[in-house]
Amino acid sequence: MDLKIRDVGHAYGPLTVLDGIGFEVPAGRIVCIVGPSGCGKSTLLRMIGGLERPDSGEILQVGAPPAASLNPLTFIFQDFALLPWRSVEGNIRLVLEDHRLGAAETERIVAGVLARTNLTEFRKAWPRQLSGGMRQRVAIARALAVSPAVMLMDEPLSALDAQTRELLMADLVALWERERFSAVYVTHNLAEAVRLGHRVIVLSRRPGRIREIVDIDMPLGERTGRMAELEAHQSRLWALIRDEAEAAEKELVGG
């Protein structure tokens, strides 16, 4: 299933936050969205996921989701959004409870995503017993349990320390190489964008408009061995947003 975002605009009262946004998310690709603070990245992600409606334009799902998909779109949040009174497997089972699956099918799905995210030995653990990186891995496993056509990832690694972030990026790359999932990935971190994104959408300062779409034609699994090329892409992205990022930071501090 592809996503097509066509001429999307949105405002909160007199404040226009997005204007004329248009791009595509091809099946099996990760599209990253970057831009200055306050440019509407998370608002755009919420509209793609149906949590908000655009004031203009349209967001289309083109083609059929995977045959086993229970939810075409699913979110992975910055704060993990785990229920502390449920174990690891309990948090994963939560998203399956409204789908009228049998006990055997539910167990097959839970065991499968635990194995795919290297969490099998932690299935009975409580969120409070896990590190931040492990909790985010549970959130990813929970998203995978519904076999989404597209994962919507809102700053999923920003709450983690640099070392854990590197480990989770490697996990996401390994997972993508096995499963070729699709994702829209919002981030402030340009290193994440060039490490994970097949395409990077660069938004301007509010109102968010597309400044440039940067395609990174480099296999995900080879990127850590081609750091000079990654750094060149990162420098290009920073050149596109630097001045507006500085202006947005001053605006936020002043506010």
**Over the stretch 188-209, which tens digit does the pLDDT of each residue have?**
999 999 999 999 999 999 899 9
* 249 pLDDT more than 80: no
Question: E strands along 13-95, which residues?
Answer: 15-25, 30-34, 56-62, 73-76
| Largest CA-CA distance found in the chain, in angstroms, rounded | 56
Domain that holds residue 248: 2-16+47-254
The DSSP code for 128 is G
Instruction: Count the domains in the chain.
Output: 1
Lowest mean pLDDT among 144-153, 157-166, 225-234: 157-166
Can you tell me the mean pLDDT for 173-177?
93
Do 3 and 150 meet the contact criterion of CB atoms below 8 Å apart? yes
With respect to residue 38, please indicate whether it lies within any of the assigned structural domains: no
User: Across the chain, what does the average pLDDT equal?
Assistant: 92
- Residues 110-139 have pLDDT tens digits of 999 999 999 999 999 999 999 999 999 999
Q: Answer yes or no: is 160 within a domain.
A: yes
Kindly tell me if the per-residue pLDDT of 77 is higher than 90. Answer: no
pTM: 0.92
Distance, in Å, from the CA atom of 152 to the CA atom of 173, rounded to the nearest integer, reads 16
pLDDT of res. 252: 53
Tokens coding 236: 């290009």
Quick one: which of 89, 79, 36, 47 has its CA closest to 184? 47
Assess if residue 117 is contained within a domain: yes
Q: Label the pairing between strands 210-215 and 199-203.
A: antiparallel
**Would you say residue 218 lies in a domain?**
yes
Please determine, for residue 151, whether its predicted confidence score (pLDDT) is greater than 90: yes
- Residue 116 maps to which CATH number? 3.40.50.300
Tell me, yes or no, whether 27 lies in a domain: no
Lowest mean pLDDT among 57-61, 69-73, 88-92, 244-248: 244-248
Whether residue 226 contacts residue 218, with contact meaning beta carbons closer than 8 Å, is answered with yes
| 43-72 mean pLDDT | 93
Whether 23 is in a domain gets the answer no
Q: Which residue's structure tokens are 């699709």?
A: 182
pLDDT at 255: 43
Q: CA-CA distance, 44 to 56, in Å (whole number)?
A: 12
Residue 28 lies in a domain: no
- The answer to whether position 132 is within a domain reads yes
